[in-house]
Chain A
């Protein structure tokens, strides 16, 4: 007849063993990060190649990236919260060529703003990432500080509704880690994300923006 002490010890051992089996199984079965998987250390984020991997395949997978189509974006704000990196790899991009250099910028000011000053309470951007500089009456230049921008799309929505849509969201590929499955794409309500060839990662809307998209690609080499 086993003693009470032995019974308790058996229970503990049994419990720990079951726990270890569950934990081990969990860790074995979890989706692996691609850089752990990749024989060529590409960390391309595009696959779980395991046994079938060969370099050509890896190279071809690395040659595509995620692209955000601003014409589909409805500025829901999720780009700020769903990215795997913080702050998000999605940033506001300014299509200068389209910008009206407006004094009353719908992307910069909260709609009910009475005085057009740079006071924090007047600004729509929650992180002070959108800057404004006087050029000449009545024109102001707007620039985005990408270190501060969290990709929340408030300015984009304001510019789209009350301006001419020259502020647009883009995935910045100098930050994006090119996840196998972009976690923003999974929650984007407008299916604005798609996989595209890596040499054409940017897509901006409107006249004269193709050059800007090329410039951004070149900047990132």
Chain B
């Protein structure tokens, strides 16, 4: 009896081994991989800001009729301009299409100057159109390596940010190059721009202050028109107060009271800072955007509505303050 039990146990063991070998050889290896993986790097938790209140609502969104869009601007009567690959589209402030203008190339940035000209950064050159979209001027290309990512004008000067050559150019309105601003110069206390990715923004405030985002240093830098660095602000942080990743803010614009609206990539968020660089309130958090969204260009209108170009959702999205927001004052 004892022997019989031993033999049955031995046979059972033998068949188990054979079955295991057969299963191992024939089974599809994919079943061995569950959905979880020890090396999966989860960055979702960085996008959660549970204790942060959002002071703005999205109250309008509309879709330009172009596949690739890069720049957004408003004019004196709050019309909204969207520039992209091969097209410029002009909308009313409520998002109705007024005009569609064909372009000869890819417009990466746009501004409307005080003399009612449309200035476009066309990858490596500047083009100027009148308000009907007729080409007035085409400046000489800066360089084959140029990637012109931002343009702004006070009516006398035109400032151009070139992410390809990590430089800011100052032109007069006729297109004559006056000089470079912000190049590294330890004698003048200028640390120089660091631009790891093609997001390099600049802007002029309502009181003619000239600001450049230095994304690799997470700084906003103010220069005078002679190129002297006046002041800077910004901190590096994943937290809501700072700028995250290798290169942020990717875009900014300036409100009437001199406060800054900034957008970031990596952790997609739009925030408002005071003119001194203190976080004032939040316009939108990552949950408002598709993961991996980058290139959130910004502009504001005369009512301080914040207009965000979302190139991933392919929408123009308009944000206005929550009526009951306590933070937004």
Of the residues B22, B25, B29, B246, contact of A105 by C-beta under 8 Å: B246
Interface of A is mostly: loop
The yes or no answer to A124 lying at the interface (CB within 8 A) is: yes
CA distance A75 to B292 in the complex (A): 13
| One of A56-64, A161-169, A191-199 contacting the partner | A161-169
- For chain B, the bracket of interface size reads 35 or more
The contact string, 1 if C-beta is below 8 Å from chain B, for chain A 38-81, is 00000000000000000000000000000000000001111011
A25 vs chain B, min Cβ distance (A): 9
Closest to A103 in B: B216
Q: Which residues of A contact B217 (CB under 8 A)?
A: 138
Q: Is the CB of A78 within 8 A of B37?
A: yes
A19 with B18, Cβ < 8 A, contacts A138-B216, A161-B266 known: yes
Q: Is the CB of B11 within 8 A of A106?
A: no
A210 vs chain B, min Cβ distance (A): 16
Of the residues B18, B26, B245, contact of A162 by C-beta under 8 Å: B245
CA distance A15 to B14 in the complex (A): 9
Q: Is the CB of A106 within 8 A of B246?
A: yes
Q: Which of B22, B33, B39, B244 has its CB near the most chain A CB atoms (within 10 A)? A: B39
Q: Is the CB of B4 within 8 A of A8?
A: yes
Of the residues A102, A106, A138, A152, contact of B39 by C-beta under 8 Å: A152
Of the residues A30, A78, A124, contact of B26 by C-beta under 8 Å: A30
Of the residues B4, B14, B247, contact of A102 by C-beta under 8 Å: B247
B16 vs chain A, min Cβ distance (A): 11
Q: Is the CB of A101 within 8 A of B38?
A: no
The yes or no answer to A172 lying at the interface (CB within 8 A) is: no
Closest to B239 in A: A112
B25 vs chain A, min Cβ distance (A): 5
Q: Which residues of A contact B266 (CB under 8 A)?
A: 106, 161-162
A162 with B39, Cβ < 8 A, contacts A15-B14, A112-B238 known: no
Closest to A21 in B: B18
Q: Report A135-175 residues with CB < 8 Å from chain B CB.
A: 138-139, 150, 152-154, 157-158, 160-164
Of the residues B11, B46, B245, contact of A104 by C-beta under 8 Å: B245
Q: Which of A26, A75, A126 has its CB near the most chain B CB atoms (within 10 A)? A: A26
Q: Which residues of B contact A139 (CB under 8 A)?
A: 194
Number of interface residues of A (CB under 8 A): 46
CA distance A78 to B33 in the complex (A): 8
The contact string, 1 if C-beta is below 8 Å from chain A, for chain B 1-15, is 001100100010011
A157 with B38, Cβ < 8 A, contacts A100-B197, A104-B245 known: no
CA distance A78 to B292 in the complex (A): 21
Q: Which of B30, B244, B246, B266 has its CB near the most chain A CB atoms (within 10 A)? A: B246
Q: Report B28-49 residues with CB < 8 Å from chain A CB.
A: 28-30, 33, 37-41, 43, 46
Q: Is the CB of A26 within 8 A of B33?
A: no
Q: Is the CB of A126 within 8 A of B43?
A: no
Q: Is the CB of B25 within 8 A of A100?
A: no
Q: Is the CB of B38 within 8 A of A81?
A: yes
Of the residues B18, B29, B43, B246, contact of A163 by C-beta under 8 Å: B246
CA distance A216 to B40 in the complex (A): 27
The contact string, 1 if C-beta is below 8 Å from chain B, for chain A 94-109, is 0000011111111000
The yes or no answer to B195 lying at the interface (CB within 8 A) is: yes
Q: Report A169-218 residues with CB < 8 Å from chain B CB.
A: 183, 186-187
CA distance A162 to B216 in the complex (A): 11
Q: Which residues of A contact B33 (CB under 8 A)?
A: 78, 81-82, 187
B3 vs chain A, min Cβ distance (A): 6
The yes or no answer to A12 lying at the interface (CB within 8 A) is: yes
Q: Is the CB of A77 within 8 A of B14?
A: no
The yes or no answer to B196 lying at the interface (CB within 8 A) is: yes
Closest to B25 in A: A30
Q: Report A1-37 residues with CB < 8 Å from chain B CB.
A: 8, 11-12, 15-16, 19, 22-23, 26, 30-31
The contact string, 1 if C-beta is below 8 Å from chain A, for chain B 214-240, is 001100000000000000000010100
Q: Which residues on B are within 8 Å of A, measured CB to CB?
A: 3-4, 7, 11, 14-15, 18, 21-22, 25-26, 28-30, 33, 37-41, 43, 46, 194-197, 216-217, 236, 238, 244-247, 266, 292
Give 13 new A-B contacts, CB below 8 A, not counting A99-B196, A100-B247, A154-B41: A8-B7, A11-B7, A12-B7, A22-B15, A26-B18, A77-B38, A81-B38, A100-B246, A102-B216, A104-B245, A138-B194, A150-B39, A160-B292
A-B pairs with beta carbons under 8 Å apart, 21 shown:
A15-B14, A16-B14, A19-B15, A26-B21, A77-B40, A77-B41, A78-B39, A81-B38, A81-B39, A100-B246, A101-B196, A126-B39, A138-B194, A152-B41, A161-B43, A161-B245, A162-B244, A163-B245, A164-B247, A186-B30, A187-B30
